[in-house]
A and B are shown apart, each in its own frame.
Chain A
Amino acid sequence: MKRHDEVTGQASNHATDPRAHFDDRSGRLAKESKAAADRPDPEVHGAAVTLDDVSITFGDHVAVRNVTLQMPARQVTALVGPSGCGKTSVLRAINRLHDHTGGAVRGSVRLGNLDVYGPDVQPEVLRSRIGMVFQRPNPFPTMSIFDNVISGLRFNGVRNKRLLREMGIAALHNAALWDIVKDRLNQPALRLSGGQQQRLCIARALAIEPEVLLMDEPCSALDPVATAKIEDLIRHLSGEVTIALVTHNMFQAARVSDNVAVFLLGDDRVGELVEVGPTDRVFDTPDDARTKAYVTGHVG
């Protein structure tokens, strides 16, 4: 219940001052890191994602192999690399989306201390802790703007109307969309522009208060202005949720990420992780020659 109160408080703050949330956020963050020390509960404070020797295969085809990677809690980790090197496959392994597409995941994926592929894990419950944003904006066309935002809450059985309303409004604020849509919450979602639709999808993912946000090239279908807005958003959200961002764009990775993981195609055309580390370090002084060639634009 305490968590609900927090959200309620947050929502009412937003209602009075739409601009307050970023300042408010940093205030909360300070408080939270102190609280996190007393009571390190990843369910509330965002969890790290750990991949240990993960390989993903589709039938006979190995998409990516032997990935060992730590995504620190409440930081942005960018997954970069050329097409077909398994970045998206890795991302989809985190919320077990491969369960439905015939991909086999070997190795260990952990969310905080939880073994994502453990025998007692219910995929639906796991996914309610992990938000996902896809390449192309995919709001539900049959739902209104607001129903889209709260759809995840409804899917997870939240029925309380007041709570739905408050969490929906909070999510729209967090996605910096409230001012644009506040007067047309009941309009069909497809009336929004592409960039707004993508932010609506981010709001939808944030409404379930995820600990981790997976973003699969969220700007690839957007123009530069919309892209800049999404990047702003990623930076603002990073103190609150753990973000895994797949991108083709080196500059985007440099702009928004704290850590970067570079994937490349091996000699046998299987994707592999060649380097991972703090973004500044990887871009300035890469350890691996292949990384250097890639990030400086000589390959891929």
Chain B
Amino acid sequence: MRTLPTVQVALDGAMPDMGLAEVARRRLVVRDSARRSIRRRRMAGRAMQVICLIAVPIGVAPLVALVLATVSKGAGAVNIGFLLHAPTPSGVPGGGISTAIAGSGEIVAYAIALAVPMGLFIALFLFERPGGIASTIRFSADVMSGVPSIIIGIFAYAVYVERFHHFSNVAAGFALGVLMLPIMVRANEEAMRTVSVDLWEAGVSLGARRSRVARSVVLRGALPGVVTGNLLAVARGVGETAPLLFTVASPTFAMTLLIFNDATQPFSDAQQTAWGTALVLLALVLILSVTARMVAWTLNRKTR
């Protein structure tokens, strides 16, 4: 392969004076190089395609295997009664997981009530008041989202359970809320940043107050991203176990705890219940994720 001869570029970076002949010669060099290297470039492209094709199944396989295992082991346990009946002690037939579903629902509701409004207001602050305080909050949120969930569990135990001397779903909701909050803050802020400055200025130039622009233009424009981000954070929170270990009164009051508890027992019916609960939980998380995408899609479609 011929290389382009070095050109005498002046040290001050000035464009060298090239005659027409030099331009023609350079054109030839570039075309020549393109023709010579085409085989090599095509082959490299194919190789990359093959690697990608191999990578896809490797990436998707764990998900498929996980879903298949959960379905095959849990499907036998799940029926209407399983969803509607309260748990029974091991050996007593007819038990279900209704208390765990209700408990998980209650805990997540508390977490949402805490984290969603807080997440919105904090993100609005970050958007509206950039500066030192905002950077500090943003940094804290990033650190927070990396804190192991078991530590958040201990924290909730220390500030709630220990102080009020009893385990409760409120404490668990608090722990989950703390866990979800930083994820929501960052997702919300990210969504607000996608609203262009042009729109913000349009709102302000019409005489709107900043708070009104924040609500009617920024928040409204960010809504698809906000809804998606919050739902995904909730889906993440639903599946958490560690924060609940220290806060929930009984493992029968939350699905993840029930799974942990029953799966570690030597009785086969308990283990069956654990798989069934796992399947229900997996289905719930899946529904939440799909709902998140669908809501975002619908909201986006309305603007076109």
Contact = CB atoms under 8 A, between A and B. Distances in A.
Interface of A: 95, 97, 100, 124-132, 134, 136, 138-142, 151-152, 154-156, 188, 190-191, 201, 204-205, 208, 214
Nearest to B202: A138
A142 B221 contact: yes
Nearest to B219: A142
B41 interface: no
Contact of A97 (B196, B198, B205, B209): B205
Given A97-B204, A125-B207, A155 B304 contact: no
A196 to B, nearest CB: 15
Given A140-B203, A140-B221, A142-B220, 11 more contacts: A128-B206, A136-B198, A138-B196, A140-B217, A142-B303, A151-B203, A152-B208, A154-B216, A188-B304, A190-B303, A214-B205
A178 to B, nearest CB: 20
Nearest to B196: A138
B208 A131 contact: no
A171 to B, nearest CB: 12
Contacts of B201: 97, 132, 134, 138
Contact of A156 (B204, B207, B302, B303): B207
> In this complex, which of A151, A155, A188, A205 has the most chain B Cβ atoms within 10 angstroms of its Cβ?
A155
Interface in B252-304: 302-304
B163 to A, nearest CB: 44
Contacts, number: 81
Given A138-B202, A188-B303, A191-B304, A152 B221 contact: no
B129 to A, nearest CB: 12
B216 A141 contact: no
6 contacts: A127-B204, A127-B207, A128-B207, A140-B199, A155-B208, A155-B216
Interface residues of B, number: 22
B212 interface: yes
Contacts of B304: 188, 190-191
A125 B209 CA distance: 9
Given A141-B221, A142-B221, A188-B302, A155 B206 contact: yes
B223 interface: yes
Contacts of A142: 220-221, 223, 302-303
A138 B198 contact: yes
B212 A155 contact: yes
B23 to A, nearest CB: 29
Contacts of B302: 142, 188
B206 A156 contact: yes
Contacts of A134: 198, 201-202, 205
Contacts of B216: 151, 154-155
A104 B261 CA distance: 65
A151 B196 contact: no
Interface string B187-227: 00000000010110111111111001100110011010000
A233 B217 CA distance: 27
Contact of B204 (A100, A129, A205): A100
A239 B302 CA distance: 38
A95 B205 contact: yes
A18 B272 CA distance: 74
A132 B198 CA distance: 12
